[in-house]
Structure 1
Amino acid sequence: MPINNRKEPFRYTLKEPMNFEIYILSINGMDGPPKPIQAELLDISRSGCQLAFPLSLPVENNDIRIAINLKLFEDLLYIEGTLRWGLEKNMSWYYGVQLDVEKEDQDRLSREMRMLAGQGKIVVK
């Protein structure tokens, strides 16, 4: 797996990856394709996550903005973020995302992660 460069103390690793859709909003300021991409959420924190999806994107030296529509437990969350790194392993692509969580959604995201932990679906690392 990728090298851990995050500075956040808690990362919630999902015991089973969660399927959802992402959208590429822009690449270097140019609009991305409107079609959703099927992705898997592998881990998440208040400020970042790790995704896997079957598309190679040139993360280095490019500003790639994505949008995530994700239901962790109860609430559907819309979160935008920036791809920070990408790694190919076993014919799958893994990406680190720096999330831009709106202030009003920060508590909802934390609550959703705590509910997943309470259900035993994630492990705190």
Structure 2
Amino acid sequence: MITRRKEPFRYSMQEPVECQLELTTVNRMSLSGKLIPAQVIDISKNGCKIRSALDLKASEHFIECRIHLRLNEQQFIFPGQIRWQRNLDGFSHDYGIHLLLTEDEKEQINVQLRGLAAERKIIVM
């Protein structure tokens, strides 16, 4: 399990936010991305935790993905890598995603997250 909790803020959603997970490569083999329903549990400019019913066995595979997410009525597609998986109850799985964003994309996400925090839709951790 690899974590990077050095960023100054992580935002926890008051209610999980619906998103879609698109797998782009597994073990360096390209996939045609089918969108998988998921929920964002928390997010920062460097990563997020999502929940899905799909068991990807992430500890056994190198998985690159895209997160399709709407924040403040703006649609985003964030590229990332799955860093860890935690099985919750046999039906749900949490995933840690390291987001691979440019500095401009990081600033965009910060602006959106600050707006959601002002509306009390997310909690700053």
Structure 1 residue 24 displacement after superposition: 0.2
Question: 1:94 maps to which residue?
Answer: 94
- Unmatched runs of 5 consecutive residues or more in structure 1: none
Q: What is the rounded CA distance, in whole Å, between the counterparts of 2:15 and 2:38 in structure 1?
A: 13
Give the aligned residue type for 2:69.
Answer: L
The CA RMSD measured in Å over matched residues stands at 1.9
Structure 1 residue 23 displacement after superposition: 0.3
Give the aligned residue type for 1:99.
Answer: L
Structure 1 residue 103 displacement after superposition: 2.3
Q: What is the rounded CA distance, in whole Å, between the counterparts of 2:80 and 2:4 in structure 1?
A: 16
Question: 1:121 maps to which residue?
Answer: 121
CA gap of 1:88–1:19, structure 2 versus 1, over 3 A, is: same
Structure 1 residue 32 displacement after superposition: 2.6
Give the aligned residue type for 1:123.
Answer: I
**Where has structure 1 moved over 3 Å in runs of 4 or more?**
none
- Unmatched runs of 5 consecutive residues or more in structure 2: none
Secondary structure at the counterpart of residue 77 of structure 1: strand
Q: What is the rounded CA distance, in whole Å, between the counterparts of 1:105 and 1:33 in structure 2?
A: 24
Secondary structure at the counterpart of residue 60 of structure 1: helix
Structure 1 residue 5 displacement after superposition: 5.5
Structure 1 residue 61 displacement after superposition: 4.3
Structure 1 residue 57 corresponds to structure 2 residue 56: yes
Q: How does 1:95-114 map to 2 (within 5 A)?
A: 95-114=95-114
Structure 1 residue 104 displacement after superposition: 2.1
Structure 1 residue 58 displacement after superposition: 2.0
Structure 1 residue 88 displacement after superposition: 0.6
Q: How does 1:1-125 map to 2 (within 5 A)?
A: 6-90=5-89, 91-125=91-125
> Does the aligned pair in 2 maintain the 1:74–1:112 contact within 8 Å?
no
Q: What is the rounded CA distance, in whole Å, between the counterparts of 1:41 and 1:89 in structure 2?
A: 15
